Structure 1
Amino acid sequence: MTGTRSGTTRPARDERTQAVVDALLRDGRALPLSEIARRLDLAKSTTHRTLAAMVAAGDVGREGRLYRLLEGEPGRANQRLTARRADARRALSAPVGRLFTRTQLTVSAAVLNGRLVDYAYRIHGRDELWTGSDQTGQGPVLGSAAGCALLAWDPPAALRVAERHGLHPGERAQLRRELADVRRARVAVHADPQSHALCFAMPVFDAQARPWAALVVRGRRGRVDVSGVVHLLRSAARSAGSAISATG
């Protein structure tokens, strides 16, 4: 903390940056400047300067009035993430479209972004289900089908996520068991009790058999042909992976 002439204290610049990161990570959604300033107990002008610097550094993204964390290492790493999102949109827009045509459900292409999952491309189905990721384009890694699909075949990424979340040994063991279950089933499934959504996710592997992205299908619980969706999702992920490997 640094002192002011009045004898009070205010966060130093590095502390303000970390406070912004903490605020944006707290519930995994984008926030307006006024809400970030309120949470940090700072003037809007000070918060705006801090956010502007973080946007310029590639650590925070701005979409209209909302700011969202570009999770991962600053600068060049976030430029690579931006490029990967664009690559995912280009490579997976056709598979997403075909899945939507076959299922009429909400279908997304997702990439890993540190503690978060970025939904790079999405077509909304007719289920009229809306979650936080529909507004921000992001969602948590842990507790999501997309996150589990991306981590299950990538142990180093799973370890990094566990470290960033500060999971204790028991929680890490539970995460390993959950990811092992996903590998055995070859599909990640997550039910959201609040939105009544049922999500299915499969990784799209690159030429080195690494999870490059994930395809995600979401529908309303009780109204989804589970076996049919899983069959179509596996087929789409396999075809997309073959196409990516061939062009990579």
Structure 2
Amino acid sequence: MSPSPVPQRDDRTAVDKAMSLLNAFGQDSVGGVGVSELARRADLSKSTAFRLLGMLQRNGAVERAGNAYRLGKMILNLGDTQESAAHGRMRDALTPYLADLYELTKQTVHLAVLQGSNVVYLNKLYGHLQVRSPSRIGGQAPAYCTAVGKVLLAFDSTNADEVLRGELPAWTPHTLTDPEALRSELATIRKDHVGYDREEILMGLNCIAAPVMGPGGKPVAALSISGPTGKFIPDSQSEVLRKVCYAASRAVAAVSARQRQQLRHAQTV
């Protein structure tokens, strides 16, 4: 009987192994990856990966996303670059309406745009009700489990199809992970022009969002109102949200009209 092969010793240092884990996130740095998959990608045992992830979490390099992990603020901040000119213009143009929404609701409000399968938060104003939230200015979140993201995906068939073809990790027990269920919800949002996050990205957090429409009937951004479950009822804010988004949409249309007029004038000079 031949002897069993001796397992090869892993001579990597703890730092090497931690770096392997961070690199293992790849394209899933925002959506999150489970411990077993991260261990497989980094060629580590599950127990070693779990222990290292705990150390990385304590230092802000990773954070829990339901039963999975994603890169934390410390790592993401290292890669922060100056915002794009387009995002800067959108933030400057729509922040007054975000402020209006805050004044009318006194709740935490967000301004976000779609970037691929994620949303980017351009601005955030904190409300009187304290609520734990994964959003931060300049940060990203998966579109499929946020109210702003679903509102924007509903009118963007290209990005919506990509999301529906991919994995939909469960951030909480309430996250929609069935592509057909999400597709049905996006269809409802297109009809109602309002979308919800009912504890789908974080337990204890509810949110309602509506689009800011641009030329051609496509949204250029979304505004949302969020608050703690049990104290905040999203449906109670739908009317004021629609009014503010309508005013913001008219302002976007007026700016686009002026730009077209200026372009025509420049072409005739």
TM superposition score category, shorter chain reference: 0.5 to 0.7
Number of the residue aligned with 2:112: 110
Letter in 1 for 2:88: A
1:150-179 per-residue CA deviation (whole Å, 9 max, x = no partner) reads: 011222221122234489xx9433222111
Number of the residue aligned with 1:21: 26
1:128-170 per-residue CA deviation (whole Å, 9 max, x = no partner) reads: 1022224872221112111110011222221122234489xx9
Tell me how far apart the structure 2 counterparts of residues 245 and 183 of structure 1 sit (CA, whole Å).
20
- Indicate whether 1:203 and 2:211 are aligned: yes
Over the matched positions of the two proteins, sequence identity in percent amounts to 27
Equivalent residue for 2:184, pick from 177, 181, 184: 177
Structure showing greater radius of gyration is 2
- Indicate whether 1:186 and 2:188 are aligned: no
Equivalent residue for 2:130, pick from 128, 135, 159: 128
Equivalences for residues 31-70 of structure 1 within 5 A:
65-67=74-76
1:192-239 per-residue CA deviation (whole Å, 9 max, x = no partner) reads: 175422100001111111111100110123333545411111011111
Runs of 5+ consecutive residues of structure 2 not aligned to the other structure? 1-9, 13-19, 34-41, 43-47, 50-71, 170-176, 257-269
TM-score, structure 2 length as denominator? 0.62
- Indicate whether 1:145 and 2:153 are aligned: no
TM-score, structure 1 length as denominator? 0.67
Number of the residue aligned with 1:94: 96
Number of the residue aligned with 1:246: 254
Measured after TM superposition, the shift of residue 120 of structure 1 is 0.7
Tell me how far apart the structure 2 counterparts of residues 195 and 109 of structure 1 sit (CA, whole Å).
21
Equivalent residue for 1:156, pick from 155, 158, 163: 158
Number of the residue aligned with 2:244: 236
Q: Could you tell me whether the CA contact under 8 Å between 1:109 and 1:121 is conserved in 2?
A: yes
Number of the residue aligned with 1:74: none
Number of the residue aligned with 2:224: 216
Tell me how far apart the structure 2 counterparts of residues 155 and 22 of structure 1 sit (CA, whole Å).
21
Letter in 2 for 1:130: R
Structure with the larger strand share: 1
1:86-145 per-residue CA deviation (whole Å, 9 max, x = no partner) reads: 122111110110110110000010111222211110001111102222487222111211
RMSD: 3.9
